Amino acid sequence: MAVMADTDERQVVPHRRSRWSRTDTLRGWAFLAPALALVVFFFIVPVGLVVYMSATDWTLFGGFTAMNFPQNFVDIASDPMFAKSLEFTLKYTVLTTVILMPLAFFLALLVQEARQWNKFLRTAILLPSALGIASSSLLFYALYSPQVGPLNPILDSLGLMDAQQTILGTADGALWATVVLVVWRFTGYFMLLTLIGVQAIPGDIYEAANLDGAGRLRKLRSITLPMLKPTIAMTMILSVTGSLLAFDQFFILTKGGPNNETLTTVLLIYKYAFETKKDLGMAAALSVVVLLALVIINVLQLRALGVGRSEEK
Amino acid sequence: MANLLTKRVVYYLLTALIAITFILPLAWAVVNSIAPNSATSQSDGYGLGNYGALAVYGEGLTTYLSNSVILTFVAVAACLIAATMAGYAIARFTFAGKGLMFVLVLSILMVPYAALLIPLVVWMSELGLDNTLVGVGFVLALFQLPFGTFVMRNAFESIPSELEEAAKLDGCGTFATFMRVMVPSVKAPMVTVGLFVFLNAWNDFMVPLYLLGPQNAPLPLAMVNMRQQVMGVIDYGLTTAGVVVLAIPAVILFLALQKYYIKGLISGAVKG
């Protein structure tokens, strides 16, 4: 061991990486112990186990029965339900992101000045963020209900809906109903992220633009938008990765219905494990697919973000 | 002048409309929860009938609420202890494996927890933690660990090391220095982390759905179970009452600690 016990007393290069003091190592790992325990027991082992389980026949009630790699993955690749869920998840992701981001951006610009009224507004828009997706979904489930909800009668009287249908009873209705709920729940959060970005732009740039006689739109296009690139990239990552993993809202509002028209991929994991197949091996294989897809997307997006940051300099 | 006035009027009308849109669903939930309810066949007038029915439904409201409180408490405590200690180690000590550990913690962000719940169903029972609030609290703590560690590391880095050296000269050991000198000076970031863990744990539905049975269900899961149990007739009065009970602590804490919520977002709360 090349560990020096008395590095403190030596005057030479105290920051040399190769010289760790033994006490620091002991102290360091002692302080890391609680985090390490959490990471090992609830992260590393489950990641390893999901990969292992994905290569097995593992039934919900029977446990492990046999290795069968790569059968689960072959089954998934040719599974029409998987294809359908993937298509729907992507559609839902595009839809929420396309609505959520411009709306949040517009609201951030609207309330950016520090006035008392604006502070109230921000709080009002942000308030749904305190609620969980599950409670928001339950709330909207009641709002959309034909019995107590005000929305069904309104849509009916406007002639926007078949009199025999309910909002969640049609594929399009269920999709849009969920998008509205998610936009309500997340707009404030995204608005605040955008606002933080807007307020980080130095004011003198705008002053210089004013001197040059630039109008509002011009300032938006030439200053605000380019300077906000990293923020916009980050909110987009959050919206895309969040929507790709949608579960609570569909589990509660639609259970994937009607006719599996609103089945997301993560909801399919649950169904395969506990409802339709009771097959944990298959559900684990699907989990591995989702996990790999998300890791790849995250890495690509982080790289894109990194590029955005260095461009800014 | 008239133009400016029109602009003002349009601005206030538009923004008032926006504020109302965001508040209205919550306000409606409150109204509907005290409205006369045909499903529970309570008396006709407005009143707390739905809350009364909720209090005695299933295992009883107090059971679900105390499940939620225990779960949230374990998650907040476990995450704060682990993140504060790890943040301190990473900010202050130089040792082998430190960088690897930090990367490992941050890599939790990459992996969606939806993908880890299937193995956790099996693994938690191996650990003897299946269907326990403490075990599920640890799982919820893990997913907030990257954010917590990141915030706490930054917090400790911004504290001048003279403070520690002074404590050492006064004869404090490493742990005493940490507890008596360092932790009190990072209270504000700890509140930020605590608030985020609280909101996530209090509101989480998916992890309890996979890992907890009906008796140990926290309130969000209990509300969903409840809705599914009643075949045919769905009791929306009960549902909205449950939503209000769930929302009250979260909204109060959120309004009181908004400042810390914004600080958390600035430090990069990457999980929604």
pLDDT in tens, A155-200: 888 877 777 788 898 999 999 999 999 999 999 999 999 999 999 8
Q: How many CB atoms are located within 10 Å of the residue B164 CB?
A: 18
- Cα nearest neighbour of A301 on chain B: B110
Is pTM beyond 0.80? Reply is yes
- Is B254 in Cβ contact with A129 (below 8 Å)? yes
- Note the pLDDT of residue B232: 61
Tell me the pLDDT band of A80, cut-offs 50, 70 and 90: very high
The mean of the pLDDT values for chain A is: 88
pLDDT digits (tens, 9 = 90+) for A190-220: 999 999 999 989 989 999 999 998 888 999 9
Q: How far apart are CA A126 and CA A122, in angstroms?
A: 6
Q: Is B240 on the interface with A (CB under 8 A)?
A: yes
Shortest distance between the Cα of B261 and any Cα of chain A, in A, equals 10
Question: How remote is the C-alpha of B133 from its chain's centroid?
Answer: 15
- Note the pLDDT of residue A296: 93
Are B200 and B144 in contact by the 8 Å Cβ rule? The answer is yes
pLDDT digits (tens, 9 = 90+) for B21-76: 999 999 999 999 998 875 555 556 788 888 988 898 888 999 999 999 999 999 99
pLDDT digits (tens, 9 = 90+) for A280-310: 999 999 999 999 999 999 888 878 776 445 4
pLDDT digits (tens, 9 = 90+) for B251-260: 999 999 999 9
Which has the higher per-residue pLDDT, A11 or B142?
B142
The mean of the pLDDT values for chain B is: 90
- Is A50 in Cβ contact with B119 (below 8 Å)? yes
Q: Which long-range contacts (CB under 8 A, 24 or more apart) does B255-260 make?
A: B255/A123, B255/A130, B257/B191, B257/B195, B258/A123, B258/A126, B260/B188, B260/B191, B260/B192, B260/B195
Tokens of A12: 């030479």
- Is B105 in Cβ contact with A39 (below 8 Å)? yes
Are A98 and A183 in contact by the 8 Å Cβ rule? The answer is no
The percentage of chain B sitting over the pLDDT mark of 90, rounded to a whole number, equals: 70
Which has the higher per-residue pLDDT, A312 or A131?
A131
Does B142 have pLDDT greater than 70?
A: yes
CATH number attached to the domain at B50-269: 1.10.3720.10
Pick from B7, B93, B120, B125 the residue to mutate for testing the A interface (most A CBs within 10 Å).
Answer: B93
- Angle, in degrees to the nearest 10, between helices A80-110 and A229-244: 140
Q: How far apart are CA A296 and CA A237, in angstroms?
A: 12
Does B227 have pLDDT greater than 60?
A: yes
Q: How far apart are CA B247 and CA B250, in angstroms?
A: 5
pLDDT digits (tens, 9 = 90+) for A223-273: 999 999 888 988 998 999 999 999 999 999 999 989 999 999 999 999 999
Does A11 have pLDDT greater than 60?
A: no
- Note the pLDDT of residue A154: 87
Alpha-carbon Rg for chain B, nearest whole angstrom, is 23
Q: Give mean pLDDT, residues B175-203.
A: 95
- Angle, in degrees to the nearest 10, between helices A133-143 and B219-229: 30
DSSP string over B144-163? HHHHHHHHHHHHHHTS-THH
Q: How far apart are CA A203 and CA B19, in angstroms?
A: 28
- Note the pLDDT of residue B187: 95
Name the 3-class secondary structure at A44.
helix
Does A99 have pLDDT greater than 50?
A: yes
Q: Is the peptide bond before B214 cis (omega within 30 degrees of 0)?
A: no
Q: Give mean pLDDT, residues A118-125.
A: 94
pLDDT digits (tens, 9 = 90+) for B195-226: 999 999 999 999 999 999 999 999 999 999 88
- Note the pLDDT of residue A7: 44
Q: Give mean pLDDT, residues B3-11.
A: 90
Q: Is A269 on the interface with B (CB under 8 A)?
A: yes
- Distance between the two ends of chain A, CA-based, in angstroms? 43
- Note the pLDDT of residue B18: 95
- Note the pLDDT of residue B47: 82
- Note the pLDDT of residue A149: 87
Which residues on B lie below 8 Å from A128 (Cβ)? 22, 25-26
Q: How far apart are CA A206 and CA B76, in angstroms?
A: 43
Are B194 and B261 in contact by the 8 Å Cβ rule? The answer is no
Q: Give mean pLDDT, residues B101-129.
A: 94
Q: Is A176 on the interface with B (CB under 8 A)?
A: no
Q: How far apart are CA A36 and CA A29, in angstroms?
A: 9
Does B230 have pLDDT greater than 90?
A: no
- Note the pLDDT of residue A90: 97
Which has the higher per-residue pLDDT, B131 or B38?
B131
Q: Which long-range contacts (CB under 8 A, 24 or more apart) does A202-210 make?
A: none
Are B40 and B235 in contact by the 8 Å Cβ rule? The answer is yes
Pick from A97, A148, A265 the residue to mutate for testing the B interface (most B CBs within 10 Å).
Answer: A148
- Note the pLDDT of residue B41: 52
| Nearest CB to B93; choose among A28, A135, A196 | A28
- Is A34 in Cβ contact with B94 (below 8 Å)? no
Q: Give the torsion through C-alpha atoms of B112, B113, B114, B115, to 10 deg.
A: 70
- Is A134 in Cβ contact with B224 (below 8 Å)? yes
Q: How many helices (H) and strands (E) does chain A have?
A: 15, 2
Pick from A22, A44, A26, A30: which is nearest to B86 by CA? A30
Pick from A56, A135, A184, A195 the residue to mutate for testing the B interface (most B CBs within 10 Å).
Answer: A135
Q: Is B95 on the interface with A (CB under 8 A)?
A: yes
The percentage of chain B sitting over the pLDDT mark of 70, rounded to a whole number, equals: 93
Per domain, the residue ranges of chain B are: 50-269
For B:180-199, CB contacts with A below 8 A are 199
pLDDT digits (tens, 9 = 90+) for A27-62: 999 999 999 999 999 999 999 999 999 999 999 998
Q: What are phi and psi of B59, to 5 degrees?
A: -80, -5
- Is A33 in Cβ contact with B85 (below 8 Å)? yes
- Is A291 in Cβ contact with B122 (below 8 Å)? no
